[in-house]
């Protein structure tokens, strides 16, 4: 392709785009698995090429290989961002308790609730389902996708941790 291109670097990039865009979009589709994203990948690769080499392509031995590598690398970046987005779990924001709850709850209930908040999520879930929702071990196991043994041991450890925390505050 290098021998067929002539003129300024900008014209060479335009010619490369016209001749290889569809091949590069096909390549990107195979890597990122959707056409709109593949088109964006190719556009970004050409935009980067233009930003970095708009004055001359003389320092690039094979512009086609260069742009192909750029498409592959940009596709990898897209896939990496997708994995990061899928892995991110936003922190759960608990709603603030209504002001009347503070007034209505006795101090000992407030202590239990404060101690309960210090347990692990799983321990808190098991205790709440067992003692506030009155579910059986089998029901808790089904709700949390745990074995009954895991529910029993988690409840036991949670009760010990809760008792320890309540003693510390007394």
The pLDDT tens digits for 11-20 are 888 899 999 9
* Sequence-ordered list of residues with C-beta below 8 angstroms from that of 11, at least 6 positions apart, any chain: 5
Return the number of other C-beta atoms located less than 10 Å from residue 133's C-beta: 11
Q: Where is pLDDT greater, at 8 or 5?
A: 8
The CA distance from 152 to 150, in Å, is 5
Q: What is the CATH number of domain 106-169?
A: 1.10.10.10
Q: Most confidently modeled of 4-8, 46-50, 71-75, 128-132? A: 71-75
The Cα 54–Cα 44 span in angstroms is 14
Domain residue spans in the chain? 1-99, 106-169
* Residue 123 tokens, joined: 């321990």
- At 47-72, the pLDDT tens digits run 998 888 767 777 788 888 899 999 99
CB 16 within 8 A of CB 5: yes
pLDDT reported for residue 147: 94
Same fold, 1-99 and 106-169: no
H helix or E strand, kind and range, residue 38 = helix 35-53
CATH class belonging to 1-99: mainly alpha
Q: How confident is the model over 132-144, as pLDDT tens digits?
A: 888 899 999 988 8
Is a pLDDT exceeding 90 seen at residue 155?
yes
| Predicted local distance difference test score (pLDDT) of residue 100 | 62
């Amino acid at each position: 392709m290098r021998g067929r291109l002539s003129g300024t670097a900008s014209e060479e990039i335009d010619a490369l785009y016209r001749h290889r865009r569809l091949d590069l979009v096909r390549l990107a589709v195979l890597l990122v698995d959707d056409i709109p994203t593949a088109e964006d990948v190719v556009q970004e690769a050409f935009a980067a090429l233009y930003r970095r080499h708009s004055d001359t392509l003389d320092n690039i031995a094979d512009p086609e290989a260069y742009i192909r590598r750029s498409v592959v690398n940009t596709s990898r970046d897209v896939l990496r961002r997708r994995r990061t987005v899928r892995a991110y779990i936003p922190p759960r924001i608990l709603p603030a308790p209504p002001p009347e709850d503070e007034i209505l709850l006795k101090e000992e209930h407030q202590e239990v609730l404060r101690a309960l908040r210090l347990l692990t999520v799983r321990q808190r879930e098991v205790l709440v389902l067992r003692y506030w929702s009155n579910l059986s071990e089998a029901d808790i196991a089904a709700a949390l996708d745990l074995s009954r043994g895991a529910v029993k041991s988690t409840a036991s450890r949670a009760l010990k941790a809760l008792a320890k925390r309540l003693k510390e505050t007394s």
